[in-house]
Structure 1
Amino acid sequence: MSVKGRGGVGVGEMWSRNVVVSRNLALLLCFSSFFAGILFTNRMWTEPERTNLEPEACDQKLKVGNHISNNSVGQISNTQNDISKFNSKISSIEMKLAAAKAEQQSLTSADAASGNLKRKYFMVIGINTAFSSRKRRDSVRATWMPQGEEKKKLEEKGIVIRFVIGHSSTAGGILDRAIEAEEKMHGDFLRLEHVEGYLELSSKTKTYFSTVVALWDADFYIKVDDDVHVNLATLGKILAGHKKKPRVYVGCMKSGPVLSKKGVKYYEPEYWKFGEAGNKYFRHATGQLYAISKDLATYISVNQ
């Protein structure tokens, strides 16, 4: 059954026309929005600035970067050199102060009656020895260490030689009495305020240098073991070439690994002070024979 309105048009036809108009209107609005969006985007969007990535420009930037890096490395190197020079100057000043202090002590301890300073010597040789080394001492006396009048003549030439030993753990015991008897016979010992012991050798050496620099004003102070035979003429010739130098350390130089494994021979209990495992000791002279100048001996005396 068809229902018609007043104008003669049915209700179904009117609804169909309204749907068509709505669709057309929606499509029109969509197209209008699309074109409006394109127009707005073209006006508001700005093209980003291009970065020049040409190979030449990249190379130039890399060169500039490398130049800056090289300059930084150079500045660091210069700074390290400046620090090293500064440390050297500080060490030099410290040694000069130590030498001045020792010189002042020499002035105050000079002979008050004569008012003269201690005599100047060329070298003082200390032969490190032990209570049980009598045969070694006799061998040295029979070979390169003059005795009697020859010893006095050598000292007049500025060369002093002494066996260096401390005291036993039992003061006045049989070991000390044996050394005293040997001293009366030969007169060639220097007794230190030190208790003898294998683990105290470093302390003995420092005490030796402190003692001899106070007793004798010499250019060089030498430490030698009692199983080493010395050619005095050759030694004197070598040291004479370094006489005008202020701080001298002469010997058979060496270096070696720091042994950090407990139980091995020459184990270093304080190995950690030398850095990581596998590091080496700083370059130093072998302990059998070496010489140091007065400034260094004075520095040891003041800072032991």
Structure 2
Amino acid sequence: MKLVAARAERESLSGKFNISNEAKKRKYFMVIGINTAFSSRKRRDSVRSTWMPQGENLKKLEEEKGIIVRFVIGHSVLSHGILDKAIEAEEKTHGDFLRLEHTEGYMKLSAKTKTFFATAVSLWDAEFYIKVDDDVHVNLASLKKALSAHQNKPRVYVGCMKSGPVLARKSVKYHEPEYWKFGEVGNKYFRHATGQFYAISKDLATYILINQDLLHKYANEDVSLGSWFIGLNVEHVDEKRLCCSTSQDCELKAMMGHVCAASFDWKCSGICRSAERMADVHERCGEPQNALWTSNS
């Protein structure tokens, strides 16, 4: 019954988002959802002017390389309010949004993540589905190369794996209200991918789609995602190319020919002042401009 419902949801979403029959039949390599907020216009523009192709090149990326890239955002509390209208106007200009059936809010990131994966796997048949924050720099060719090593694995979860402390105190950032579920105070979370960037294979995205009503949401979305895969036969891949530092790490690696797939600053949980610094990071740490187009894959 759940599979039937999932198929029905796929058909419904495909019609709503005007996905062509050709696109529905096509196999893509990866779908990249850039998590963004209503207040992040400058961040989005910094991404558009650096690592995210625009206009015809965005379409070419989909058709020739099988890579879908979209900014992901839901709706405001006030339906069709000024915030939604601003996004609609931006969408008319750029055509690079995926609007979710989700009400935006910082404490709702776990729900947004779940809705994104369920929506993306319903719309596009891909090898990988990726969530990245809008203050992270990405090198698409390097990312595709990193993920290609895991292309034939059915259930794979790729990211920079960590296991931080469960924060019980209400006054601290990333407080976990359900800290008691993780044992004694001072315990650590189970191993999971850090929230700035992670990728999952199609089987796992489909699992989220089918079971979305049953999946529990913790305070932190990266913890929530990791919890959904506990008990499943999933391969966790700790891929350090997805969490290079923007200080010297990504630049040195680029100079040596080992270009990072994703870069950010740990202290800011993203690139510090990314709207101002994204261009500089792209200049220092970005792959050659034609790297993706000259690759054989």
TM class, shorter-length = 0.5 to 0.7
1:229 aligns with 2:137: yes
Give the counterpart letter for 1:265 in structure 2: K
Q: What is residue 194 of structure 1 aligned with on the other side?
A: 102
1:91-117 deviations in Å (ceiling 9; x for gaps): xxxxxx978985787689989x97996
1:154 aligns with 2:58: no
Q: What is the CA distance between 1:262 and its match in structure 2?
A: 2.8
Matched-pair contact (CA < 8 Å) for 1:98–1:298: no
Give the counterpart letter for 1:168 in structure 2: S
2:48 corresponds to which of 121, 141, 153: 141
CA distance in 2, matches of 1:197, 1:127: 16
Matched-pair contact (CA < 8 Å) for 2:74–2:104: yes
1:245 corresponds to which of 121, 136, 153: 153
Q: What is the CA distance between 1:202 and its match in structure 2?
A: 0.6
1:18-45 deviations in Å (ceiling 9; x for gaps): xxxxxxxxxxxxxxxxxxxxxxxxxxxx
Name the CA shift for 1:216/1:199 in 2 (closer, same or farther; >3 Å): same
Give the counterpart letter for 1:279 in structure 2: N
Q: What is the CA distance between 1:118 and its match in structure 2?
A: 2.1
Give the counterpart letter for 2:25 in structure 1: K
Matched-pair contact (CA < 8 Å) for 2:127–2:202: yes
Q: What is residue 271 of structure 1 aligned with on the other side?
A: 179
Gaps of 5+ in 1: 1-96
1:303 aligns with 2:207: no
Matched-pair contact (CA < 8 Å) for 2:166–2:188: yes
Q: What is the CA distance between 1:268 and its match in structure 2?
A: 1.1
Structure 1 residue matching 2:49: 3-state secondary structure:
helix
1:196-228 deviations in Å (ceiling 9; x for gaps): 001101100100000000000001000000001
Give the counterpart letter for 1:131 in structure 2: F
1:205 corresponds to which of 89, 95, 113: 113
Relative contact order, higher structure (CA 8 A, sep 6+)? 2
Higher relative helix content: 1
2:81 corresponds to which of 170, 173, 176: 173
Q: What is residue 193 of structure 2 aligned with on the other side?
A: 285
Matched-pair contact (CA < 8 Å) for 2:3–2:210: no
Structure 1 residue matching 2:54: 3-state secondary structure:
coil
Q: What is residue 223 of structure 2 aligned with on the other side?
A: none
- What is the TM-score with the length of structure 1 in the denominator? 0.63
- What is the TM-score with the length of structure 2 in the denominator? 0.65
1:123 aligns with 2:30: yes
CA distance in 2, matches of 1:100, 1:235: 33
Q: What is the CA distance between 1:261 and its match in structure 2?
A: 2.4
Q: What is the CA distance between 1:245 and its match in structure 2?
A: 0.3
CA distance in 2, matches of 1:98, 1:255: 33
Name the CA shift for 1:287/1:294 in 2 (closer, same or farther; >3 Å): same
Higher relative strand content: 2
Name the CA shift for 1:115/1:222 in 2 (closer, same or farther; >3 Å): closer
Q: Percent identity?
A: 74
